[in-house]
Amino acid sequence: MQQTRTTQLVPYELLARWDDAGNFKGAHIQFLGKVLDDDGNAIASQLMPPQAISVGEQAGFPLSEILDQLHIDALKRIEALELQIESLNQASNP
């Protein structure tokens, strides 16, 4: 039986830079490329080269492609931390 292999790119790292005066200078994104088997399990992975992120009219990877997922991930993390804080507060104030 022949296996079908698919590839997937997932965000791995986002790097932003500012100068000494605090002015934004640029940003790059790096993806992790994965090869998946029929069951969706990663059988190989490789870091892809960093890509410049476009800000405004600049050429590069479109920031809108990752911004929504960053917001979702940040909100999930905030929610988890709020639940942890609530649990700790209840444990310390019976």
Query: For the segment 38-92, what is each residue's pLDDT rounded down to a tens digit?
Result: 888 888 999 999 998 876 666 777 767 777 777 767 767 888 888 899 899 999 9
> Does the reported pTM lie above 0.85?
no
Judged on CB neighbours under 10 Å (0-12, 13-18, 19+), 53 is buried
Domain boundaries, the chain: 6-92
Per-residue model confidence (pLDDT) at position 54: 75
- Position 13 confidence tier, pLDDT thresholds 50, 70, 90: very high
Judged on CB neighbours under 10 Å (0-12, 13-18, 19+), 46 is exposed
